[in-house]
Structure 1
C-alpha cells in the first residue's frame, strides 16, 4: 500500500508483482460496522468479502478515509513452509523481537490440560521449548515440542517443530523438519536426510503430515512433503 505523510492510504494493491513500496498490510483491520456492511454488498448485488481484493479498493475508489497504522514490532507472514518454520525458530532467538514471556503481552488462548513435561534419564535438551505433556528421553536441540509430543531414548531432534502428540521413536533422527500432529517417526528412521554432503547442515524444511506413519529405518530426504505412510525398511 501507499500512504501520505499522515498515513492516509491512497493506493492499495493485492500482492503486486512489483510493489511500489515495502509498506505491507498485516491483514488486521478496524471498520465502522455500518460502513463495512454497506460495502459488502455491491450495487450489482455481488457479495464482497475479500478485504484486499474487493473491499479496500472499492472504498478507495469512493474516496473513503482509510488510514494505516505503522507497526514496527515483530510480525511475520507464515504463508509458506519456510516462514512457518522460521517463525517457530524465532521463538528461540532472544533478538528476534518475538518474546512470548513478556508479561505485558499475554496470550489468553486455552491450552490443553496436560501434566508438566517429563525429561527421562537419557534426555538431553538444549536451546529448546518443551510444552506440557511432553515425554523426552532423547536429544533435543534448537527445537519446539508442542503438547504431548514424545521423543524416545536414542532419538534426536534438531532444529525442528514437533506438533501435538507426535511420536519420535527410539533411534530416529529428525533434522530441520515439521512433524504433524499424531505423526509417528519409526525406530531408526531419518527425516531430513541430505545425501550429497553428509554432515553438512540441512538446507530445506521437511514436512511430515498429520497422522502419517514413517516406518522403521525409512529415510525421508530433505525438503520432502510427506502426506502418506512410508512402510518399514526391512534388513536383507
Structure 2
C-alpha cells in the first residue's frame, strides 16, 4: 500500500478510572487474549502497510512490552517495520506530547524520511476491522485533502464523547463538533484519517508555529471550510473502549456468536503477541456457560456470561456472573462476583462478595503495580 501508518496510543482519561492507573488504554485486554491496539495493528498489516509507528506516552510500560517485536503482526523487516515513539528530550523540545498534533509534530522526522505519498492515522483504542486500502481509494476518487472514517451511532447515550460530523450526500464533511453537550447529529468520527504525507507535514508545521497542539480542534475543525474533508462511512462493527462502560460492553459483545465469528472466523484475521500457555483446565465441579475462557485458566467453580483472561484461578464453589476477570487474577473459594471488572493480579479472598449494583464495579485487591 502507498501509505505509512501511525497509531496514536499515548492518551489517557479519567473515564477508565482504576483501569488506567497502570496501563495505557491501548494496552487494555480485549476478548480474552488480545490488547486493544492489536486491532489497529492487524488492520495495518492486513492492508499491506509495511511501515507503522506507534506513538505512546502515558503508562506505556506494558504497551511497549507488548510491542517488543513486530513479528506478531508481520510488518516489513527489510523495508519498513514497527516503530515505537515515546516523548524525547531534544535540543528543540523538552515537552511531553501536548496533544495529538503535537505528538505527530515531535516525530516529524519519521514523516519526512518516509517516501510513501499517504499517511493512515488511527487511534489505539478502537475495536474494528477495516481495509484501509478502500479508504485510500475513496480518498483518491473524491480528490479529498483529508478523509475521516465515520460511523453512524444508533445508541446516542454516549455520543457526547465523540466528535460529530455533518455530511452532504456526496460525503463531504461540512461541520465538525468536538464532544458537544447537545447535538442532533448521529454520525461520529472514529479517529481514523487518511491524508497526503506532504499536506500533513505542512499542516503540522503551521499548527506548531501558532502553538496549536490538537489534530481535531486545530486542524480538522479549523480547516473544515478551507480543505476538502470527506467522510468514509464504516458499516461494520466498531467500538471505542475509552470509558469503563464501553470497555465492559465491548468485551461482553464478544460473547455474541456473530461478533466472535466476525472477528475471529472471517478473513482477515486479528493478530496478537502469543504466549506459550497450557489450555484452560476445568476441574470436577466446574460449570461454565456462555463465557470466554483463555489459556492458562483453572476453573473449579461456576462461570456464566463472563470473560476470563489469561492465567486465572477460580476457586471451589465460586460464582462469576456477567463479569470480566483480567490477567493473573486469583479468585478464592466460595467467592461471589457479579457485574464486576476484576483488575489483573488481584487476589480475591475466600468467601468474598462483590456485586456491581449501580453499574459496573471495578475490583482491585492486593494488586502489585505490574502488568
**CA–CA separation in structure 2 for the residues paired with 1:180 and 1:3:** 41
Using a 3 Å threshold, how does the CA distance of structure 1 residues 156 and 113 change in structure 2: closer, same or farther? same
In structure 1, stretches of 5+ residues that fail to align are: 194-201, 215-226, 228-236
Confirm or deny that 1:38 pairs with 2:202.
yes
Shift of 1:72: 1.3
When Rg is computed on C-alpha atoms for both structures, the one with the higher figure is 1
SS at match of 1:122: coil
1:151 maps to which residue?
A: 314
In structure 2, stretches of 5+ residues that fail to align are: 1-164
Shift of 1:44: 6.7
Q: Is the 8 A contact 1:39 1:48 kept in 2?
A: no
What RMSD in Å do the two structures reach over aligned CA positions?
2.3
Shift of 1:124: 0.7
Q: Is the 8 A contact 1:91 1:99 kept in 2?
A: no
**CA–CA separation in structure 2 for the residues paired with 1:17 and 1:145:** 36
2:12 maps to which residue?
A: none
Q: Whose strand fraction is larger, Structure 1's or Structure 2's? A: 2
1:68 is aligned, of 226, 231, 234, to 231
TM-score (norm 1): 0.79
Q: Is the 8 A contact 1:40 1:47 kept in 2?
A: no
SS at match of 1:84: helix
Q: Whose helix fraction is larger, Structure 1's or Structure 2's? A: 2
TM-score (norm 2): 0.52
1:28 is aligned, of 178, 184, 192, to 192
Q: Deviations over 1:19-72 (max 9, x none)?
A: 2410101111112111111111336714544222222113314x2111111111
2:286 maps to which residue?
A: 123
**CA–CA separation in structure 2 for the residues paired with 1:78 and 1:71:** 17
Using a 3 Å threshold, how does the CA distance of structure 1 residues 186 and 44 change in structure 2: closer, same or farther? closer
Q: How many residues align?
A: 205
**CA–CA separation in structure 2 for the residues paired with 1:99 and 1:184:** 34
Shift of 1:203: 4.4
Larger RCO (alpha carbons 8 Å, 6+ apart): 2
Shift of 1:120: 0.9
**CA–CA separation in structure 2 for the residues paired with 1:203 and 1:140:** 21
Shift of 1:109: 1.7
1:101 maps to which residue?
A: 264
Within 5 A, what are the aligned runs for 1:77-116?
A: 77-94=240-257, 99-116=262-279
